[in-house]
Structure 1
């Protein structure tokens, strides 16, 4: 199923169209979408569900619980366990109307998670994104999720789910940080040109300004593509960097999963009210 053929209950529906149709945003502008990041623990999950976020992002790993077959739990490495299993998390989230983004750091957690997701699919008539870092990026490690296995596993369960495919990255405060290179863009486009569903590329805010030409080129390759700008906790970037991105990219093609005070400042600067 292509993005354009997406029905109103399809996981490949554009999130702007979905939230606009449900009167949760007022215009097709990616900056209007509010994200809640790392809703992993029960406390953070409950906070996310009570918040005005449209999309809840959470991380899935296999529990290191001493058994041969750990179950999927909500945690971000280096954590190895959690007070929240994916099964419990889904049971609570399906009671809400919020969209979901699940982030995988290892291939082992993907199949058991897709099986759990499949068991509640009829209750999830809302956007669902599945995320993994599949290529090494600027200052990133080579520890990536195997792209072919990841995409094959996810799409064997959900052929039209929206994929979020990124690069591993690092950021150093003491030195000049290289941006995303042309090689990184061409590798990503080579992979995604074969797909039919929408793909959003998570890119690190502190590295976007120096990669503007490359990212603009990537988005021009397909109307299925978008960017999700995210920030590391200790990254040094400015509101001007975010405004620079906003001025140069199509507003329908860029989402902003930005932390705390900067998010508020950015939304104020572009005239979007935010209540969290």
Structure 2
């Protein structure tokens, strides 16, 4: 993860509940239901390093037991901790989002310096006109986040940003607590020029880039060509 104002090194992990007893949070991505690494073991390893962590929750049942395990890590307020989940249906999204009320209820014991990364389920298909984030989608998200006490970053899919500028800039205008995190999937085709308006009109402290190194380098060159670096 990198903000243009500097480097924030984050390690990301997908979290689900183990599919058999003993039930506990593990590092795995659906459809997998088992793993050699538990969240507790992973957190023990992370504590020795000066890095932030981002936990991406793929199942609701994993949230509460994971929050309990996070207490020791969160005792260090200088370590960035992001909690990620897709809680709203988004453009092209086929996966079922986590139920937002249950998810937010499970994380309300976290310290207020924790960043909630709250996103939409999305999809992208090559060779078609992929819709962007609609007004309904951003308004639903804003209503959910309006009264939260946490900073919130919205993970947004780079390939869908060209057609979503008005909606996403409106969303950021609703609270100083809000930011965007631009991400991409390996299968996506993205035009980095589509990100230029966001860099031009939004403060650099409010956009993060979760992109492969090669694309991040290319983005820096694209912004420099537009006198925005």
Which TM-score applies when normalising by structure 2?
Answer: 0.90
| Deviations, residues 250-275 of structure 1 (Å, cap 9, x unaligned) | 2111000012421222234446xxxx
Match of 2:4 in 1: 31
| Deviations, residues 145-182 of structure 1 (Å, cap 9, x unaligned) | 11111111111243542111000000000210000000
Match of 1:177 in 2: 130
Residues 125-164 of structure 1 aligned to structure 2 (within 5 Å): 125-141=78-94, 143-164=96-117
Larger % of strand: which?
A: 2
The CA distance in 2 between the partners of 1:218 and 1:229, in whole Å, is: 15
Match of 1:250 in 2: 203
The CA distance in 1 between the partners of 2:219 and 2:162, in whole Å, is: 16
| Deviations, residues 64-118 of structure 1 (Å, cap 9, x unaligned) | 2x32x52111122122222321111111111111111111011100011111111
The CA distance in 1 between the partners of 2:215 and 2:110, in whole Å, is: 37
Specify the SS of the correspondent of 2:143.
Answer: helix
Residues 90-101 of structure 1 aligned to structure 2 (within 5 Å): 90-101=43-54
Q: Is contact 1:226–1:254 with CA below 8 Å preserved after alignment?
A: yes
Verify: 1:61 aligned to 2:16, yes or no.
yes
Verify: 1:116 aligned to 2:69, yes or no.
yes
The CA distance in 2 between the partners of 1:267 and 1:61, in whole Å, is: 35
- Number of residue pairs matched by the alignment: 224
Q: Is contact 2:16–2:57 with CA below 8 Å preserved after alignment?
A: yes
Runs of 4+ residues over 6 Å off in structure 1: none
Specify the SS of the correspondent of 2:163.
Answer: helix
Specify the SS of the correspondent of 2:117.
Answer: strand
The CA distance in 2 between the partners of 1:235 and 1:142, in whole Å, is: 17
Residues 7-22 of structure 1 aligned to structure 2 (within 5 Å): none
Specify the SS of the correspondent of 1:210.
Answer: coil
Verify: 1:221 aligned to 2:194, yes or no.
no
Verify: 1:211 aligned to 2:164, yes or no.
yes
Q: Which of these residues, 168, 185, 206, is aligned with residue 121 of structure 2?
A: 168
Q: Is contact 2:118–2:154 with CA below 8 Å preserved after alignment?
A: yes
Residue 175 and residue 186 in structure 1: after superposition, are their counterparts in 2 closer, same or farther (change >3 A)?
A: same
Q: Is contact 1:233–1:259 with CA below 8 Å preserved after alignment?
A: no
Segments of 5+ residues of structure 2 without an aligned counterpart are 225-229
CA RMSD of aligned residues (A): 2.0
Match of 2:227 in 1: none
Which TM-score applies when normalising by structure 1?
Answer: 0.76
Specify the SS of the correspondent of 1:79.
Answer: coil
Verify: 1:70 aligned to 2:43, yes or no.
no
